[in-house]
Amino acid sequence: DTEVTQTPKHLVMGMTNKKSLKCEQHMGHRAMYWYKQKAKKPPELMFVYSYEKLSINESVPSRFSPECPNSSLLNLHLHALQPEDSALYLCASSQDAVGYTFGSGTRLTVV
Amino acid sequence: AQSVTQPDIHITVSEGASLELRCNYSYGATPYLFWYVQSPGQGLQLLLKYFSGDTLVQGIKGFEAEFKRSQSSFNLRKPSVHWSDAAEYFCAVNYGGATNKLIFGTGTLLAVQP
């Protein structure tokens, strides 16, 4: 299996809702990432997990809460989001500096 | 600061014409270098990458890129563009280290005229 699987593909949520994005890989990669991509902009790094430990938080608001339950799974818990948080959320994994694999993303709309 | 620059925000070429998309990186050390393509509403697809060895790298879909250390550049080329190549192209760099942080350029939107 050489893929990163993200679910759901689309999500619409209200500002008072709690939802979660899921990312899964079975390549044995040691690092997993969350990126946020607004329309017509490049992906921006949010979080990095290395060996299931949070190693980078790019000053992301606390309404985004990452979780890495095991080496294959990465979640992003969402709570009290704002409309400006609407974006494409991309998950990626890597074993080293050159072996990145991206998922197809979750398109999030906050209403 | 570590950064990557794509000077061209938007490029239009005719189908069948050649293409070159520019990418420059900052910082003294040679990073790992990548080109990704993204069609509207889609995820990122890796075109090619460079980390060592031959400075001319071949990728998928007929793309190639050349690493030039003296110019801190990693420009993407294609000899003959197809209409299906219309998309957003991102150059990305990774300077390695413990976190393997991938940093993206601002992107170049390619339009292809018939």
The band of A62, judged by pLDDT with boundaries at 50, 70 and 90, is: very high
Q: How confident is the model at residue A24 (pLDDT cuts 50, 70, 90)?
A: very high
Q: How many CB atoms lie within 10 A of CB B40?
A: 8
Nearest-Cα distance to chain A for B25, in Å, is 15
User: Which A positions 35-94 lie with beta carbon below 8 A of chain B?
Assistant: 40-45, 48, 50, 55-56, 88, 90, 92, 94
pLDDT for the residue numbered A83 = 96
Model pLDDT for residues B3-44, shown as the tens digit of each residue? 899 999 999 999 999 999 999 998 667 789 999 999 988 889
> What was the pLDDT predicted at B90?
97
Model confidence at A97, in pLDDT bands (50, 70, 90)?
Answer: confident
DSSP string, B45-100: EEEEEESSS-SEEE-GGG-EEEEEGGGTEEEEEESS--GGG-EEEEEEEE--SSS-
- Amino acid letter, residue A47: F
**8 Å CB contact of A31 and B100:** yes
What pLDDT digit, counting tens, does each position of A27-58 carry? Answer: 999 999 999 999 989 999 999 999 999 999 99
More confident residue, B95 or B44: B44
Backbone angles phi, psi at A24, to 5 degrees: -140, 140
Residue among A66, A98, A74 nearest A26 (CA) = A74
Mean pLDDT of B74-87: 97
**C-alpha to C-alpha distance for A30 and A50, rounded to whole angstroms:** 6
A79 C-beta neighbours (distance < 10 Å), count: 15
Which band of pLDDT confidence, cut at 50, 70 and 90, is reported for residue B1?
low
pLDDT grade, residue B95 (50/70/90)? confident
Give CA–CA dist A52/A28, Å, rounded: 12
Q: What's the mean per-residue pLDDT of chain A?
A: 94
B98 pLDDT band, cuts 50/70/90, is low
Contacts of B46 in chain A (CB under 8 A): 100, 102
Composition of chain B by helix, strand, coil, percent to 5: 10, 50, 45
Residue with tokens 């400075």: B55
Q: For residues A83 and A102, give the distance between their C-alpha atoms in angstroms, rounded to a whole number.
A: 25
For A87, the closest chain B residue by CA position comes to B41
